[in-house]
Amino acid sequence: MGNLLKTKDLLRGVAALVALGMLAPALASAGFYIQSDRPGYYWGKDPVEPEGPEQEKPKPQVAAPKQEQKEEPKKYEWESRAELKFSDFTPQQLWDMKPKELAALLEAFKDQSVWRPTEEHVHDTYAMIDIARRKSSAFANVQQYVVNKYPEISTERDYPMAVPGKEAIRQAKTQEVNQRVAQASNDYGLIYFYKPGCPYCEAEEKILRFFVSSRRFDVQPVNIQEQPGVAAQFGITITPSLVLIKRGNSQPLPISYGVIALDELEARVFNGVRLLDGQTTPEQYGVREYERGGAFDPTAPLNR
């Protein structure tokens, strides 16, 4: 990891913060808590109550918990019939039924045909299934028409199914990541927390070496056994861990715990840089620039 030690200046501020933790014992030994004989919870003694007649404190009134009334399932007219017959319903009646009632009626026909598997009962069950299938087909047809007519609710542009479209998306994503990570290499760096003998750290180091050589990105390794104070400052308890930091910015951003692949590492650095630069929000954390305003931008409807 010799060529990874390019950003020691990134930890100077951290060392100062860790040093502050050593001041408390010195202040205590220098008589900082000189009022230790003063009664009170902060000095380890119960506070002295003023003398006077004891008065019984009123007990707080506790409201009885409200009992939730369970809503009874809706009863349909046909549920009271001794026997269900498909011929008792017109096609228009079945077509106009709300989905919950149509599903309940279909289940009732199924139960009846299994209970009494006569030719008529089984036929009526499949007739009901046919109605439900046609309703689903009608929805699918209207859905296709609506998506074609209103492209803003379609995902075809942002998630094409054709091979040439998928390749175009891949190229756009790779180009955007490469440019942004290259621009950020001057102002950003990674702190890599590891522990000797950790097999996962050895696997991650191979990925980091390739990342450093290809992206010219600074990585500062920190041995948590030799520098436990630094690890505690960043809340690190798992190795390997990676934290993204920006020069002049006191808000570090953890981006991984455990082993992550190279493409995932690049994506997380890309997203983290955009977030710390104020170019995106947590709601749009994984949204690429070419996806803004599209089907995968959760805030797009708010900006129309």
What is the per-residue pLDDT across 14-46, written as a single tens digit (0 to 9) for each? 444 344 343 334 333 333 333 344 444 333 445
Q: Report d(CA 168, CA 165) in Å as an integer.
A: 5
Amino acid at 248: G
- Please state the domain extents for the chain: 81-152, 182-281
The residue assigned the tokens 């919870």 is: 41
Q: What is the DSSP string of 14-37?
A: HHHHHHHTTHHHHHHHTTTTTTTT
216-244 residues labelled b (16+ CB within 10 A) or e (exposed): ebbbbbbbbeebeebbebbebeebbbbbb
pLDDT for 38 equals 42
Helix, strand or coil for residue 257? strand
pLDDT for 166 equals 86
DSSP 8-state code for residue 149 = H
Q: Report d(CA 251, CA 188) in Å as an integer.
A: 12
- Note the pTM of the prediction, 2 decimals: 0.57
Residue-by-residue pLDDT tens, the chain, 304 positions: 544 444 444 444 444 434 434 333 433 333 333 334 444 433 344 545 555 555 566 666 666 666 666 666 668 999 999 999 999 999 999 999 999 999 999 999 999 999 999 999 999 999 999 999 999 999 999 999 999 998 888 888 888 888 998 898 888 888 888 888 888 888 999 999 999 999 999 999 999 999 998 888 899 999 999 999 999 999 999 999 999 999 888 789 999 999 999 999 999 999 999 999 988 888 888 888 878 888 888 888 887 7
pLDDT for 35 equals 39
Yes or no: is domain 182-281 CATH 3.40.50.1980? no
Q: What is the DSSP string of 74-110?
A: PPPGGGG-SS--GGGS-HHHHHHS-HHHHHHHHHHHH
pLDDT for 142 equals 96
Q: Report d(CA 68, CA 278) in Å as an integer.
A: 46
Q: Report d(CA 267, CA 284) in Å as an integer.
A: 14
pLDDT for 58 equals 64
Q: Is 50 exposed, middle or buried (0-12, 13-18, 19+ CB in 10 A)?
A: exposed
Q: What is the pLDDT of residues 79-95, one digit of tens each?
A: 999 999 999 999 999 99
The residue assigned the tokens 């299934």 is: 129
For the sheet with 241-246, list strands across it: 218-223, 188-194, 241-246, 253-257
Q: Report d(CA 212, CA 194) in Å as an integer.
A: 17
Strands 188-194 and 218-223: parallel
Tokens at 123, concatenated: 């036929």
Task: List, in sequence order, every residue forming a beta bridge with 222; answer none if it has no partner.
Answer: 193
